[in-house]
Structure 1
Amino acid sequence: MTLPVVAVVGPTGSGKSELGIALAQRLDGEIVNADALQFYRGMDIGTAKLAPTERQGVGHHLLDVLDVTQEASVAAYQEDARRIVEDIRARGRVPILVGGSGLYIRAALDRLEFPPTDAGVRSRLEAELATTGSAAFRRRLREVDPASAERIDDDRRLVRALEVYEISGRPFSAFMPRREYHQPAVQIGLAVDRAVLRARLAERVHAMVAGGLADEVGRLAARGLRDGRTASRALGYGQFLRVLDGSMTEQDAVEDTIAATRRFARRQLTWFRGDPRVAWTDWHAPGLVDRAVGIVRQRGDIS
């Protein structure tokens, strides 16, 4: 029997890490990180990364694998996560994905093919776009991929769609993911009342600041944080880089981080609520771990 991949999903601040630990202990599992920002070494406070002592002896994978100057790649994550999942299964244990980065979750779980890329083709198309304009590019895309031309609303993605078509001969829309697991999987979503979540997120940001977020950003700035396309835009980190630069007060950085985190949580909820395969349970329900284990055993058909 193939052990299912268990994924614990939901908005930031909903307790995914804690439930992941508890499930790993109950199901003899190991955790595979699916939070794109927890890939980065040194980004600990602002990503709520569990310290080694908080992991309670449970094996964790794909934490601290990138420097802040490196760019996270969904395609690379797919390859790494699937390899680690198979290794965990080969040892008779249950792989447990934990995180709120929806595309990374789907990359690990679903039949998802990534379109090819070519920096030279992309550079040439960007130069052409600057000369001809967006309207001409959209007409060009409409001839070969009307579905993408209708959906795409920014220049960067127009270029990307034409790049994919030029390289592969296939429309960009042909690479859209399907909600179809490539191997057995169970997704558990943690639901939080919106008012409660708003309050929790504000408290969380204040706790991060009290815990030394500004100092963490300062240390990472010395290691090239500003040069990292992914890491420098992370919630809290971008704001406190501006504090370091003198263009924002710390109080404004805190308020901006709270607002941005709440917006991010809403986007996460929209993403995960759109997937009918997610089994939702209240984050604070009595017997949460027992409920989650029951979902895994029922949906994953394991004893």
Structure 2
Amino acid sequence: MQQALRPLITVIGATGTGKSKLAVDLALALNGEIINSDAMQMYRGLDVITNKHPLEERMGIPHHLMDFLNPEEAWKIGQWLSIALTKIEDIRKRGKVPIVVGGTHYYVQSLLFRESIQDFEDKLDNGDYSGHREAITAKFPILEAPTSEILAELQRRDPVMANRWHPNDRRKIQRSLEICLTTSRKASDLYAEEAANNAGKSTARFSNILFWVHASDEVLASRLKGRVDKMIEQGLFGELDELYKLYKENKDEMDTSSGIWQSIGWKEFVPYLVAKDTLDNDGGTNAEAKKTLENELDRLKAEGIDKTNVATRHYSKSQVKWIRIKLLNKLLADVASLPDGGMYLLDTSDLSRWNDTVRDPAVRIAQAFLNPDIPNENLPKPTEIATLPTDLLKPHKKDMATDRSLWVNNTCEHCHVTAVTQELWNKHINGRAHRQVVKRKMKREQIELLRVLRVASSEAAAPADVSYKEASPDTQTTETLL
């Protein structure tokens, strides 16, 4: 008989919805400690850029896996997972309740369930096929080739996985080929075997209950609109200046394609920071040129603010998509999950009613969940307490990563655009841009056809006694071909 799973409480949600505040409220009520699952908040300092919960609002609650990495360090998810699991057990041994919170939802999912693709790849990395990146690329130089060449080699070795990825998705194409090369197996076969081994089994590490804090679209859009202005007030540009100094001094030795260098609020301002550095260090610039540079600097700063606002909104939407496509599908499918997946939707649209609509119901549900005398079946149903549309508690669509029937790779012959799902393909061919390209192409073809018909009509109308030698060069060529 399988041993009963230990309970774990997790708080998830898009940026700006109040995850950190609820985690603190739960920790205060349950004698808990918090484990951070936000990949950017692991970095030391940089509180504004990474949007950390202010220290004075943490109410003395310990926050683990936060503020411990230097900016030049880049961690893999497996490193975070290993320490997070250790911290959870350590918190329990001290008689406290572990509470996981953060917006990097693929970190959360790898913690709650064993068999995610990322876990599987980490397993490969730590097994017989492990090795440093340098050693692997030295043995298989193709991995450093242009993306088109890597894709061609993957197509030759594993067409199923080659068909899975967009032709420009270098990282995933490279990773799939790396698995093929280092294991001498098709990556698609290994994933299929892993899925088959787990079919019908629970892969949950814990008995999971999740609180999804969410706000209406209108409210969240309003909150996020002023996010960058608030970051500026809190010292954003001071942090950016310090980070740029480190970047400038170490960019040749650091991997700037991952880690803190991918955080929203840094990469959007890089052009501004480079221009500012040029202006600060070019003392010989004449007054007119300096004024031009200053104007350009103002433009780049405003552009950085706009881009950060846009990126924040997009990130918020992607977080919700992960919950509704990845996490909900997994929770509902796993045999060990609580009824309806154990995910409770809490409405944070009206912050003036926080205690009534968010804190108090969450605390009551969590207390019942942790009470061994109350069966999980007796917990309130998520749909019973949700004040937001309960359709949110249904998966938005199937999870492409686990459903191979969704692996469709089409390239438009007119637009040269590739879509890796049927949904994206339908969206493209029904889109305005595609229709305009096709319309223009058809118009060109019609014009060319009319031109050919005119030429043919002109030739047919020519006198019948025209000699071969009197014919034009074009006519001679045509006659010769005929």
| TM-score for the superposition, normalised by structure 2 | 0.57
Indicate whether 1:217 and 2:230 are aligned: no
Deviates more, 1:157-166 or 1:61-70: 157-166
1:267 counterpart = 2:318: yes
Task: Give the corresponding residue for 1:48.
Answer: 51
Task: Tell me, yes or no, if the aligned pair for 2:244 and 2:273 is still in contact at 8 Å.
Answer: no
Q: Which amino acid aligns with 1:97?
A: V
SS at match of 2:158: helix
Shift in CA distance, 3/182, structure 1 to aligned 2, threshold 3 Å: closer
1:73 corresponds to which of 71, 76, 80: 76
Q: CA deviation at 1:169?
A: 4.8
Matched, 1:289 2:359: yes
Whether contact under 8 Å (2:157, 2:180) holds in the other structure is no
Counterpart contact for 2:6–2:206, Cα < 8 Å: no
RMSD: 2.5
* Aligned-partner residue type, residue 209 of structure 2: V
| CA distance in 1: counterparts of 2:372 and 2:244, whole angstroms | 47
Q: Report the Cα offset of residue 139 of structure 1.
A: 2.9
Asked whether the equivalents of residues 68 and 224 of structure 1 are also in contact (C-alpha less than 8 Å), the reply is no
Task: State the alpha-carbon separation in 1 of the partners of residues 246 and 366 from structure 2.
Answer: 42
Aligned to 2:178: 163
Q: State the identity %.
A: 29
User: After the TM superposition, which of the residue ranges 72-81 and 42-51 deviates more from structure 2?
Assistant: 42-51
Kindly indicate whether structure 1 or structure 2 has the higher relative contact order, using CA contacts under 8 Å at least 6 residues apart: 1
Determine whether 1:57 maps to 2:60.
yes
- Does the 8 Å CA contact 1:3/1:300 hold for their aligned counterparts? no
Aligned to 2:334: none
Amino acid at match of 2:158: L
> 1:97 aligns to what SS in structure 2?
strand
Aligned 8 A contact 2:228 2:305 in 1 = yes
Contact 1:8-1:188 at 8 Å conserved across structures: yes
For 1:232, the equivalent position in structure 2 comes to 261
Shift of 1:6: 0.9
| Equivalent position amino acid for 1:92 in 2 | G
Counterpart among 186, 200, 203 of residue 226 in structure 2: 203
Structure 1 pair 298/121, CA: closer, same or farther in 2 (3 Å)?
A: same
Change (3 A) 1:218 1:114: farther
Distance of 2:16 and 2:266 partners within structure 1: 17
**In the alignment, residue 231 of structure 1 is paired with which amino acid?**
I
Q: CA deviation at 1:212?
A: 1.2
Distance, in Å, in 1 between the alignment partners of 2:187 and 2:87 is 29
Once the two structures are TM-superposed, the CA of residue 221 in structure 1 deviates from its matched residue by 1.9
Structure 1, gaps ≥5 residues long: none
CA distance in 1, matches of 2:185, 2:113: 20
Task: Give me the whole-angstrom Cα distance separating, in 2, the residues matched to 1:191 and 1:180.
Answer: 27
Which protein is bigger by CA-based radius of gyration? 2
Counterpart of 1:197 in structure 2: which amino acid? L
Indicate conservation of the 8 Å contact 1:129/1:137, yes or no: no
Q: In 1, distance between residues paired with 2:214 and 2:240?
A: 31
CA shift in 2, pair 1:137/1:2, >3 Å: closer
8 Å CA contact 1:164, 1:172 repeated in 2: yes
CA deviation digits over 1:241-290, x for unaligned, max 9?
A: 32211276221111110000000110000001222333212124634112
Q: Structure 2 CA distance, aligned partners of 1:58 and 1:103?
A: 25
**Match for residue 150 of structure 1?**
163
Q: Is the 1:71–1:230 Cα contact (8 Å) retained in structure 2?
A: yes
The alignment partner of 1:31 has SS state of: strand
Alignment match, 2:426: none
- Following TM superposition, by how much is the alpha carbon of 1:298 offset from its aligned partner in structure 2, in angstroms? 4.4
| Runs of at least 5 residues in structure 2 that lack an aligned partner in the other structure | 276-296, 329-340, 374-482
Partner of 1:188: 211
